[in-house]
Amino acid sequence: NADVELEVRVMPYSDEQFLLIARDVTQLKQLEQMRKDFVANVSHELKTPLTVLQGYLELLEQSDALPPAMLNKAITEMQGQSERMSHLVNQLLSLSRMEISRYDLFERVVDMPQLLNVIATEMNQLNQAKQHQLSFHIDPIKIHGFEDELRSVVINLIANAIHYTPAQGVIEVSWRQVGDEAEFTVTDNGPGIAAEHLGRLTERFYRVDKDRNSKTGGTGLGLAIVQQALDHHHSRLEIESTPGQGSRFSFRISQELIIKA
């Protein structure tokens, strides 16, 4: 099998015999590659805003009387880039926090309706500029889970819908009973995502729009955080999308985690 990597060692066994030890290191090598990619991505993501910041700082240092318009542009750019960096660092922290946490799911109760109502208010504020038609349907289902993680899942999915859907779109959020499970969905009528990307969206740093300086793209960590949090709830992010029509992001919580009313 060409995909399997072996680490082979030869050791003397007796005068005429050797011992051949082969170890399958395929998975180890893959993990090592993932770690290298991750570090390279983080460095790149931090370097870009830093370069911009340094450029503007040099400009400010060299000229003692910058025209007001240019000065304003420099300040706005620098604010934008430092926000970008602090957002990235926060996302990285939240990924690593989730990696080290060990805890018992069944010890905690999340009042999803209450959580979603608070988020609905926050998201309506975020939505003001884009004037989407944003609606919520919330069934009274409480579950066992980790509140901070579920909050981050829900906020990431709704914020993406608001972000990627052009102004005055239609966004529907729901939390409802489906069979004996509970399902959370966010549906938008935004640009949609081509099929070839769907399977990779939850990879760290994966973005459809590869242009790193693009105004529309974030860090590409949002959906990786979502999937990691859903892992802790034995759930998986499902994405259905039709380019030009919109997307539907959803996850289900199984019966065992639903608290009987």
* Per-residue tokens: 108: 């905690």
Q: What's the closest the beta carbon of residue 219 comes to ligand ADP, in angstroms? A: 5
Q: What's the closest the beta carbon of residue 193 comes to ligand ADP, in angstroms? A: 5
Binding residues vs ligand ADP (CB under 6 A): 160-161, 164, 188, 190-191, 193, 201, 207-209, 217-223, 247
Q: What's the closest the beta carbon of residue 4 comes to ligand ADP, in angstroms? A: 32
Contact present, 227 and 94 (Cβ < 8 Å) = no
Give the pairing type, strands 246-253 and 133-138: unpaired
CA distance 133 to 114: 21
CB closer to ligand ADP out of 173 and 182: 173
CB closer to ligand ADP out of 102 and 215: 215
Q: What's the closest the beta carbon of residue 38 comes to ligand ADP, in angstroms? A: 14
CB closer to ligand ADP out of 164 and 184: 164
CB closer to ligand ADP out of 140 and 199: 199
* Per-residue tokens: 237: 């992010």
CB closer to ligand ADP out of 80 and 218: 218
Q: What's the closest the beta carbon of residue 84 comes to ligand ADP, in angstroms? A: 10
CA distance 155 to 8: 49
